Amino acid sequence: MKKVLSQPLRFVVRGLALSGFALAAQLLAPFAIEPAMAADIPLYPSGPAEDSSFVRFVDGGSHPVDVSSAGSKARLTLDAENPASRFFPIAAGKPVAGTLTAGGAHQDVSATVKPGEFVSIVALDGAQKGARSQVVTVREKPDDFNALKASVGFYNLDAHCATPTLKVPGHDIVLLDGVAAGQSKRRQVNPVALSVQLACGGQPVGQPLNLGTLVAGQRYTVFLVPAGAQSRIFFANDAVSR
C-alpha cells in the first residue's frame, strides 16, 4: 500500500441469506449495543439530496488519528474507543480533502465520491515502525437494504491473515469467509445479539468481538486490519450523520 491515498479498493458486496442463524445466535447473552463512532461533526457541506454521497474516516492503526477538513477549522479525533466517524453526506462528484495526523505525522488525503456511494477512508499503521500511516479507501454502493434484517459486512484490509473467517464463537457457524485481501462480503442476519471470532488459516486470532444487539434495518462493518505481526478486528455502525 502507498503512503498516500491509495487507489480505491473495490469491494464485492453480496447479500446472503443466513438460514438457521437466529436459533444459534439467540443462545448468546444479549448486550446493549454501543456503536463505535465519533460525535456528529459537519466536516463537509452536504450537496442536494439527489446528489448526496457519503464519506467517513476510520482509525485502523495503533495511534489516535486527528482528522481536519481542508479549508475549515472543523476536526475530529478517532481512537481505539471511537475508531470510526459516522458517514457524512457530501456532494457527489466533487473532491473532498483533509489531513490525517497520527503519531505526529501529517498526511493529506482526498477522495471523490460517486452518487449514492459510501466511502470509508481508513488509516492503517505504516509498513515499518515509525513510518507514516498508510491510507486506503473503501467503496460501497449499498443495494441490499432489508427493513427486517441487519446487514453485517467484512472488510479485509490485512493480506497477512490467511483465509480470514468470521465465526460465531461457541457455535459451529461461519458468518463470513472467503474474503480475499482488498475485498469484502456482506450478508443479512437476524437482529439478535451477536459476537464474532476471527480465524486466520483456521486458527482463532484474538478474543471474540461483541457487536452487541443488532438492529433491524441497520448496517454494521467488521474491519480486519494488521496489528504488528498479528491481525485484529473491530467494528463500526454504518450510521449517517444528520
150-197 pLDDT tens trace: 999 999 999 999 999 999 998 889 999 999 898 889 999 999 999 999
- Sign of the torsion formed by the C-alpha atoms of 168, 170, 171 and 172: positive
- Cα-based distances in Å from 230 to 104, 162, 167, 225: 24, 11, 18, 9
Quick check: 50 pLDDT over 90? Answer: no
Q: Could you tell me if residue 1 is inside a domain?
A: no
Cα separation, 22 vs 192, whole angstroms: 7
Q: Could you tell me if residue 223 is inside a domain?
A: yes
| CA nearest neighbour of 97 among 137, 64, 50 | 137
Cβ atoms within 10 Å of 37's Cβ, excluding its own: 19
Taking residues 73-86, what's their average pLDDT?
92
Taking residues 43-48, what's their average pLDDT?
52
Q: Could you tell me if residue 188 is inside a domain?
A: yes
Q: Could you tell me if residue 134 is inside a domain?
A: yes
Residue 57: helix, strand or coil by DSSP?
strand
Q: Could you tell me if residue 27 is inside a domain?
A: yes
Mean residue pLDDT of the chain comes to 79
Q: Which domain holds residue 65?
A: 9-237
In the chain, the number of structural domains is 1
- Please tell me which residue, 38 or 22, carries the higher pLDDT value: 38
User: What stretches of the chain show up as alpha helix (H) in DSSP?
Assistant: 21-25
Cα separation, 63 vs 104, whole angstroms: 10
- Please tell me which residue, 67 or 47, carries the higher pLDDT value: 67
Cα separation, 6 vs 176, whole angstroms: 26
DSSP 21-54: HHHHHTTSPP-------PPP---S----GGGEEE
Q: How far apart are the first and last CA of the chain?
A: 33
122-144 pLDDT tens trace: 999 876 565 667 898 889 988 87
Q: Could you tell me if residue 2 is inside a domain?
A: no
Q: Could you tell me if residue 3 is inside a domain?
A: no
- Cα-based distances in Å from 49 to 57, 164, 237: 21, 38, 22
Instruction: Out of 22-31, 33-42, 227-236, pick the least confident.
Output: 22-31
| CA nearest neighbour of 105 among 75, 79, 66, 52 | 66
Cα separation, 131 vs 194, whole angstroms: 36
Q: Could you tell me if residue 221 is inside a domain?
A: yes
- Please tell me which residue, 74 or 93, carries the higher pLDDT value: 93
- Which grid cell is 155? 472488510
